[in-house]
Amino acid sequence: MAVLATIVFCFAMSYAIIWLISKFMKVRIPEDEESIGQDIVEHGEPAYL
């Protein structure tokens, strides 16, 4: 019961929050940037040289 309530609440609320954020900004990186990797496209800091 408590487990069920937790699952429903966390899922619904988290989904609502990320949905709200998606109205203000892009939430995921474009496909070509994904293959390059976030280290470079987002942070400009590759972990390995």
Residues that bind another protein (CB under 8 A): 1-3, 5-7, 9-11, 13-15, 17-22, 24-29, 31, 34-40, 42-43, 45-48
CB 30 to another protein: min, Å? 10
CB 40 within 8 A of CB 32: no
Query: How far is the CA of 26 from the CAs of 1, 3, 10, 22, in angstroms?
Result: 36, 32, 22, 6
CB 44 to another protein: min, Å? 9
CB 22 to another protein: min, Å? 7
Neighbours of 37 (CB within 10 A): 13
